[in-house]
Amino acid sequence: MSMGGPRLRGVRELKGIAASQGVATGKVKVVVSPADFSRVEEGDVLVAKATDPSYVLVLGKVSAVVTEYGGVCSHAAIVSRELGIPCVVGIEGATKLLKDGMLVEVDGNEGRVRILD
């Protein structure tokens, strides 16, 4: 019996919903609140439970977006399409499974996040 949330245990790929096309590679930055925005750097992969209009402050500098919740009409999906960056939504537990600094490839065409390191 597992207590304490999701774990990777050998998983190298996570599957979600393809929400904005493209493929990008970058280091994970988990953002749980606007207080984390100052930690986001150019080219990071933003990982969040979901996004809202306040996230526009950082979405312009990330290479891709991954969220736990949402669909093709979610805020993350719509803004990512407008910015031309890959987005995968609907990956349950993404903010726990993906850790700051992990190198990942976000495939917004297939709805996959591959862990590269």
The count of domains in the chain is: 1
Answer yes or no: 75 catalytic. Answer: yes
- The answer to the question of residue 48 being in a domain is yes
Per-residue pLDDT of the chain (117 residues; tens, 9 = 90+): 444 545 555 669 999 999 999 999 999 999 999 999 999 999 999 999 999 999 999 999 999 999 999 999 999 999 999 999 999 999 999 999 999 999 999 999 999 999 998
Within 10 Å of residue 25's Cβ, how many Cβ atoms? 16
Is the residue at 46 inside a domain?
A: yes
The whole model's pTM is what? 0.91
Is the distance from CB of 108 to CB of 72 less than 8 angstroms? Answer: no
DSSP 11-70: --EEE-EEEE--EEEEEEEE-SSGGGGGG--TT-EEEES---GGGHHHHTT-SEEEESS-
**Residue at 41 is within a domain:** yes
CATH code (residue 83): 3.50.30.10
Domain boundaries, position 28: 13-115
Q: Out of 75, 87, 94, 112, pick the active-site residue.
A: 75
- Is 2 a member of any domain? no
Return the SS3 of 111: coil
